[in-house]
Amino acid sequence: MSRKSAGSQATWALLTEGVTRARLEAHRLRHLINRAIKLVEESEEKDHIYQMAGDMIVSVPDRLDKIDIALDRTSLALARMGEEFLDARLSISDKQLVDDAISAAFGSPKHKESAEERVASRYMIPKSPSQVLVDLIRLRERLYDNDSGTLRNLAGYLAKALQDHATDAVSLRVALTKLVKDWSWHLGSSPLPVETSVLAELKKAIARLKTVKQAMQVTLGPDGLVKTWQTPFPETTECCKCGGEARFAFTAHEGSDEMEYVRDMYSNDPNGDGLWPHDACAVAVYFCKDCLESTALYNQA
C-alpha cells in the first residue's frame, strides 16, 4: 500500500469518527432542548418566558435541524468515499452478509454494477447470458474462500471452464455438464451437504444455459403470419420471378430484447452505404407453387 493511499484511508477514518461523534452530541443536545421546551410549556410563567426569549426557544431547534442536515450530507459523502476502501478490505462472504442484512432491514439496495458483472460483460458475446456468468463467477469466488480443499480444487476447474468457454453458451454448457459429471463421481455416494449444494447450483446454471434465446426465431405455418411488427403477413403473395402465386412457409423474427440484430450488420445510410433495416425486423418467406422461387416480405419495429 502506498503512503498516499494509507494517508487517505487514515484521513477518511478520522473524519468518519468525527462525524459520528458530532451526530451523537447533536442527538444529546436535541434531547436536552426538548426537555427544556417541555418545561417551558408546563411552566406557569410560560407567557413571560416567551416574551423574554421566545425567539431563542423557536430558533434553536431550527438551527439544530440545519446541523443535522449538514452532518447527513457529510456522512453520505464519507460513505461514498469509503465504499471502495471497505469493499477492497472485506471478503466476498462478508460483503454478501452486509447486502443480506441491508436487504432484510431496508429492502433491496439500489443496484450497482458489481465486479463480477463487469467481468461477465467484458468477456461475454451475444447469445451468452451475462447473469449466468455473474452467478458462476460468484460461485467460483465462494469456493475459493471455502475451507474445504476439495471445493477449492473445484473452484480451479470452474475457473478454467469460464476462462475457456465464457464467450459461447453452448460450449460453456458442455464444459459444465462434464464438470458436474466428473465431480459427482469424484465425491462418491455420500457427498457433504455443501458439496451437494454446489453441484445443484452448477446444474441450475446448466439448465439456464439451455434456455438461451437465439437472436432470430423461426415460426412455421399459420402461426408465423402474426409474428410481425406491423399488420399480419398474407397467406399468399405474388412470386417475385414469374408473377405466380407464392405460398407462405415461415417467418424469421427478432424479439425486443435480443443482444444482436440484423440492423447491426450494416449502417442505414441512404446517402452513403445504402439502405438497411433500422430496427428489429420480421421476414416472411414464401415459395411459388409454379416455379418454386422464394419470395420474402418484411417489416420492422
Amino acid at 286: Y
| Ordered per-residue pLDDT tens for the chain, 301 residues | 444 455 566 777 777 778 888 888 888 888 888 888 888 888 888 788 777 777 777 777 778 878 888 877 877 777 777 766 666 666 666 666 666 666 655 555 555 555 555 555 444 444 445 567 777 777 777 777 777 777 777 777 877 777 777 666 667 777 888 888 888 887 777 777 777 888 888 888 877 776 555 556 788 888 888 888 888 899 999 999 999 999 999 988 876 554 557 776 777 777 877 888 887 888 999 999 999 999 999 888 7
For residue 116, the number of C-alpha atoms closer than 13 Å in the C-beta half-sphere is 16
- Rounded alpha-carbon distances, angstroms, from residue 141 to 22, 46, 154, 156: 39, 66, 11, 10
The structure's pTM equals 0.33
Q: Are 143 and 197 in contact (CB under 8 A)?
A: no
CA distance 59 to 61: 6
What does the block give as the cell for 116?
463480477
